[in-house]
Amino acid sequence: MKKIGLYFGTFNPIHTGHLAIANYMAEYSDLDQIWMVVTPHNPFKKKSSLLNNNHRFEMVYRATESYPKLSPSDIEFTLPQPNYTVHTLAHLLDKYPNHQFSLIMGEDNLKSLHKWKNYEVILENHHIYVYPRITQGIVEAQFLSNPNIHKINAPIMEISSTFIRKAIAEDKNVRPLLPETVWSYIDEMNFYKS
């Protein structure tokens, strides 16, 4: 049985914070593989400001290419939208009956987990690894003591895709915040200019 960590994200774009989290999990957990699942449409986010799926996938592909334990995944591209994680998990369990799937997420997502579709089902069947992040809101008490939720003791990295998109639109240099191959793709393609 292979242990897979699913790191779901809009990745618009993938940044050094994402990559550091994925690499930390690859190095310091018992997960065999981390799949970075590019989500076409988060049910809580507007689709209008999104770069198309293939461009976001390409950036995740480039970011993870030289990391053997990290892989990009386009599994949600052919599933109904918006993408509810519980549906994707059902699809994955069906397709890979011999894999054990855990979730990796930032603390901002844990703060809204009580609003996710069938979150109880997700929690009953999967471990969730939560990465610290400074954001508004509080984590519901029910999640603080849940045995399937594991807090990761890792340094906080305050980088967000929103900050990067805004900075590029304002002509700032964001090169250190992105994997080099992602930075050059964004630069070549003129993404997020305004």
Ligand X SMILES: Nc1ncnc2c1ncn2[C@@H]1O[C@H](COP(=O)(O)OP(=O)(O)OP(=O)(O)O)[C@@H](O)[C@H]1O
Ligand Y SMILES: O=C(O)c1ccc[n+]([C@@H]2O[C@H](COP(=O)([O-])O)[C@@H](O)[C@H]2O)c1
Interface residues with ligand X (CB under 6 A)?
Answer: 9-12, 17-18, 21, 105-106, 108-109, 131, 133, 157, 159-162
C-alpha span between 171 and 61 (Å, rounded)? 25
Work out which of 4, 10, 14, 62 binds ligand Y, going by CB under 6 A.
10
CB 180 to ligand X: min, Å: 18
Site for ligand Y, residues 123 to 142, rule: CB under 6 A: none
Site for ligand Y, residues 19 to 58, rule: CB under 6 A: 39, 42-45
C-alpha span between 52 and 56 (Å, rounded)? 6
The residue of the chain with the least Cβ separation from ligand Y equals 8
CB 34 to ligand Y: min, Å: 14
Residue with Cβ nearer ligand Y (84 or 101): 84
Residue with Cβ nearer ligand Y (16 or 83): 83
Cβ distance 131 to 29 under 8 Å? no
Cβ distance 76 to 87 under 8 Å? no
Give the binding range for ligand Y (CB under 6 A) out of 5-13, 138-146, 147-155, 180-188.
5-13
For 11, 47, 176, the CA distances from 164, given in Å and listed in that order, are 11, 18, 11
183: left (phi > 0), else alpha (psi -120 to 50), else beta?
alpha
H or E segment and range at residue 33: strand 33-38
CB 36 to ligand X: min, Å: 9
Give the binding range for ligand Y (CB under 6 A) out of 56-64, 82-90, 94-102, 123-131.
82-90
Cβ distance 26 to 69 under 8 Å? yes
Residue with Cβ nearer ligand Y (86 or 167): 86
CB 98 to ligand X: min, Å: 26
CB 171 to ligand Y: min, Å: 26
Helix axes 53-64, 180-189, angle to 10 degrees: 150
